Amino acid sequence: MNSTTLLGLVAGALTTVSFLPQVLKTWRTRSTGDFSFGMLTLLSAGILVWIGYGFLIDSLPVILANIVTFALLSVILAFKIIYK
């Protein structure tokens, strides 16, 4: 693995892991009032397109980071829909 891919994986790890404390907080509080529904849906849609782009440019960091982020973001979006 070259250093560029490594840097990309660091970037992906940071932005992906960032959603973990958020999911834990939201799971604990069940409170999602401060989140914009438009943000959650547009961001989820955009992340799906990023996954496609990642495959096209053959970038493992872009693919991996966006798949995991999409999964974590889905939890927050689900809480937003259920506990609104």
What is the identity of the amino acid at 37? Answer: F
8-11 contacts: CB < 8 A, separation 24 or more? 8/59, 8/60, 8/61, 8/62, 9/60, 9/61, 9/64, 9/65, 11/61, 11/65
By CB under 8 A, is residue 11 in contact with a copy of itself?
yes
By CB under 8 A, is residue 46 in contact with a copy of itself?
yes
By CB under 8 A, is residue 38 in contact with a copy of itself?
yes
Pick the closest to residue 46 from 34, 54, 35 (CA basis).
54
By CB under 8 A, is residue 4 in contact with a copy of itself?
yes
By CB under 8 A, is residue 78 in contact with a copy of itself?
no
Residues lying near a copy of itself in the complex (CB under 8 A): 4, 7-8, 10-19, 21-22, 24-26, 29, 31-43, 45-47, 49-50, 52-53, 56-57, 59, 61-62
